[in-house]
Amino acid sequence: MPQDPTMTSSRTHSEDASISELIQQLSEQTSRLARQEVELAKAEMTIKGKRLGIGAGAFGGAGLVAVLGLGALTAAAILLLATALSPWLAALIVAVVYLAVAGALALAGKSKVESATPPVPERAVASVKQDVEQTKLRAKEGRA
């Protein structure tokens, strides 16, 4: 049965409109997705920043109390050793022990800081990578 030329022209015109509409929708969705990914990264970094601030404050308070306790323990250790040794030697021994402990703590802290940097929003980065892969797959399917 012969086809009506006006129907073919009309069908092609609507298909072209659909393709242009699809491209416009893809552009809008891509822009919206990019904005949402940026918002996700901002939210994730805000949460990490708050946690970091609270943790730093807690460490600061703990450090202050520890210094006060350490002063009392230092005096007690020196007085204890001074019963068997000269007071200056007792103070020197306690100081060397403290410096050794400080060195060990500094090394442990350095490794923890190195493992926490750089502060990257990992979930947002993974989500963006997944979105890019999905877009590539859909683009390949569209060409096939």
Q: What is the dihedral of CA 51, 54, 55, 61, to 10 degrees?
A: 180
Quote the pTM value: 0.40
Phi, psi values for residue 37, rounded to 5° = -65, -40
Q: Supply the pLDDT for residue 79.
A: 96
The stretch 10-28 carries a mean pLDDT of 72
- Residue with the larger pLDDT of the pair 65 and 122: 65
User: How many CB atoms are located within 10 Å of the residue 78 CB?
Assistant: 19
Instruction: Tell me if 111 is assigned to some domain.
Output: yes
- Residue with the larger pLDDT of the pair 104 and 46: 104
Instruction: Tell me if 2 is assigned to some domain.
Output: no
Instruction: Tell me if 97 is assigned to some domain.
Output: yes
For 118, which DSSP code? S
Instruction: Give the whole-number percent of the chain exceeding pLDDT 90.
Output: 35
Instruction: Tell me if 22 is assigned to some domain.
Output: yes
What's the distance, Cα to Cα, between the start and end of the chain in Å?
A: 30
Write out the residue range of the structural domain in which residue 137 sits: 7-143
Task: Please check the confidence at residue 4 and state whether its pLDDT lies above 70.
Answer: no
What total number of domains does the chain contain?
1
